[in-house]
Each structure stands twice: as C-alpha cells, then as structure tokens.
Amino acid sequence: MSVGRAGRRRDAARSRDLLLQAASELFTERGYDRTTTRDIGQRAGVDPALIARYFGSKTELYLAALHAERGDAVPADLFDPDRLLDVLERIDRRGAVPLVQVAVQPLSDPAAQQGARAALHARLVEPLCERFTREGLDRPRLRAEIVVAAVIGVLLGQRSGAFDELGDAQPGDLVPLLRDALTGQS
C-alpha cells in the first residue's frame, strides 16, 4: 500500500512541477491576463483542476512561478555588468517576462499585480536602491526606479521594431552602452 502512495506523491510532485513550468512559460508568452488555467493544464499535460489542488488558484500559481524564477539568492544590481547581461539575455531568449510586463501594464488581478510589483522591486529596484544608499546619493529609490524604467524601456524599444540598430543589437553589445548611458562609465 505504501508503494502506491509513494507513486502518487511522485506523480503529484511531477504534476505540480509540470504546472509550474507550463505556467511560467505561458505567463511569459501571453501575460497573466491572457493565460487561462485551461491553457496551463493543456501545456502541462495534466488536468487544470490540479491547479486548485496544488496552488489554490491561478493567482497563487502566478506568484509561485514568480518565486521559482527568482529563487532565494539576492540578486546583484543592474550596474553589475554580469547582472545586466543576464537580464538582457533572459529577455532576448524569453520575451517580455512578467517583471517587464507589470512595469508596462497593470494586471487585472490585484493580488497578481502586487506580487509581480513586489518581485520587480525585490529583484531590480531594491539592489540599486541599496547601492545608491551606500554611495550616499540623494533620493536613492527614485534613482533606482529611473534606472529600472530606462532598462525596461530599452528592452521594449529593442523588440518594438521602431529602432533599427537597437533591434539588431545583441545583449553583449548593449551592456557597455547602457552602463555608459546610465552611469557615465562603461
């Protein structure tokens, strides 16, 4: 009897992981509002009703996907060349990830909006705010928000088709130019 339960637990863990992966992909591709639980279940190859069982709701699954993407490590700030390159490459590979999406358009669900906003601030704004505070700059939070908004604007402009050279630029080419534009140093 315990073998059956262990098998079900492994299947439950696998189903949960499949739902989390599918949700992460779909939220990135379509955004929160245009992704349905049916779509997530279909992509995961499991019954969408399992979302309620394992996560409680689409919103809770969205928040779990945001947390899973971040992990527990404290990220470096965007003035760190490796961190900036990582952000640019991730957007280049995956498109407008939820953190970029929430910076551009509010989500229809207040809890999802708050979760995405909190993730945006924890991953991008806070590390810069801490840097600016250490450096003794005035209005460190506003400065951090301006830098994050500028980087997101560049990312959106790169994908918009409105800027020829920016659209063709590779992430590695953008890092020194962005650092120079934002800090006065490359």
Using the predicted structure, report yes or no on whether residue 176 has a pLDDT greater than 80.
Answer: yes
The sign one gets for the Cα dihedral 168, 172, 178, 180 is: negative
Residue 9 is predicted with a pLDDT of 56
Measured in whole angstroms, the distance separating CA 129 from the mean position of its chain's CA atoms is: 19
Single pTM value for the model: 0.79
**Hey, what CATH topology would domain 2-67 get?**
Arc Repressor Mutant, subunit A (1.10.10)
What does the pLDDT look like over 66-119, one tens digit per residue? 888 766 667 899 999 899 998 888 888 877 677 788 888 888 999 999 999 998
In the structure, what pLDDT confidence band is assigned to residue 138 with cuts at 50, 70 and 90? very high
Contact 29, 39 (CB under 8 A): no
Q: Are 125 and 144 in contact (CB under 8 A)?
A: yes
Q: Where are the domains of the chain?
A: 2-67, 73-183
Radius of gyration of the chain, Cα coordinates, nearest whole angstrom: 19
At residue 9's C-alpha, the angle toward residues 112 and 62, to 5°, is: 10
**Residue 5 banded pLDDT, cuts 50, 70, 90:** low
The whole-angstrom separation of Cα 114 and Cα 107 is 9
DSSP structure string for 57-74 = SHHHHHHHHHHHHH-SSP
Q: Which residue has the tokens 């993407």?
A: 69
Whether 1 shows a pLDDT value over 70: the answer reads: no
